[in-house]
């Protein structure tokens, strides 16, 4: 704990104060809508929108399980969002809140929004759509590409490799 606090103090030394962002305008939306918006804000890398969703959910009285579902849904949209650190940090934040710090849910959870929105991504949800589009392109334009003829059973073999290996 001591080393962690020292690292945080060192990282934040000399930086301006962080002010809490207001909730989304228009009153409290239902949790299903906030979850959808939160995931979208994270996907388009809008950390302010993501933070506003978290703040709105907390201020609307959402309990820890609902908040966890909201946040973990976005953390798992990509297999390894920031190499899994976002998932770890979110888990640790909820563990801290479970130890009686429920009144700190808003600042603790909202502080994670930036790492969600700006995190490195692997396994993009759109990667399947890109593969599908490229295969459709290849199918539609295959007549333009020259065909290579291969003898039966030669798939994957380097031409002349068998002759070279038999000479050795």
pTM above 0.75, yes or no: no
Q: Is 70 exceeded by the pLDDT of residue 133?
A: no
Cβ count within 10 A of residue 42: 28
- The pLDDT score that the predictor gives to residue 145 is 45
Q: How confident is the model at residue 55 (pLDDT cuts 50, 70, 90)?
A: very high
Could you report the per-residue pLDDT of 31-50, keeping only the tens digit for each?
Answer: 899 999 989 998 898 889 99
The Cβ-side half-sphere exposure at 127, using a 13 Å CA radius, reads 8
Q: Give the model's confidence band at 18: pLDDT under 50 very low, under 70 low, under 90 confident, else very high.
A: low
Of 110, 6, 2, 124, nearest in space to 51 by CA: 110
Instruction: Kindly state the helix (H) or strand (E) to which residue 70 belongs, with its residue range.
Output: helix 64-75
Residue of 117 and 12 predicted with greater confidence = 117
Higher pLDDT, 66 or 17: 66
- The region of weakest confidence among 16-30, 42-56, 88-102, 145-159 is 145-159
Is 87's pLDDT higher than 50?
yes
Residue-level pLDDT at 161 = 47
Report how far residue 77's alpha carbon sits from residue 2's, in angstroms, rounded to the nearest whole number.
Answer: 33
Whole-angstrom CA distances from 58 to 17, 81, 126 are: 22, 23, 30
Domain boundaries along the sequence of the chain:
29-118
């Amino acid at each position: 704990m001591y080393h962690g606090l020292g690292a945080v103090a060192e990282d934040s030394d000399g930086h301006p104060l962080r002010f809490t962002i207001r909730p989304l305008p228009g009153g409290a939306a239902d949790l299903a809508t906030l979850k959808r918006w939160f995931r979208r804000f994270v996907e388009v890398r809008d950390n302010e929108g993501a933070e506003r969703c978290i703040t709105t959910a907390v201020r609307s009285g959402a309990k820890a399980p609902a908040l966890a579902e909201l946040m973990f849904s976005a953390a798992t949209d990509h297999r390894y969002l920031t190499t899994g650190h976002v998932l770890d940090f979110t888990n640790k934040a909820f563990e801290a809140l479970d130890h009686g710090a429920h009144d700190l849910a808003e600042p603790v959870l909202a502080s994670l929004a930036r790492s969600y929105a700006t995190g490195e991504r692997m396994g993009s949800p759109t990667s399947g759509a890109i593969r599908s589009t490229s295969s459709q392109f290849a199918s539609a334009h295959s007549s333009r590409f020259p065909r290579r003829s291969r003898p039966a059973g030669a798939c994957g073999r380097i031409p002349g490799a068998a002759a070279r290996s038999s000479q050795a």
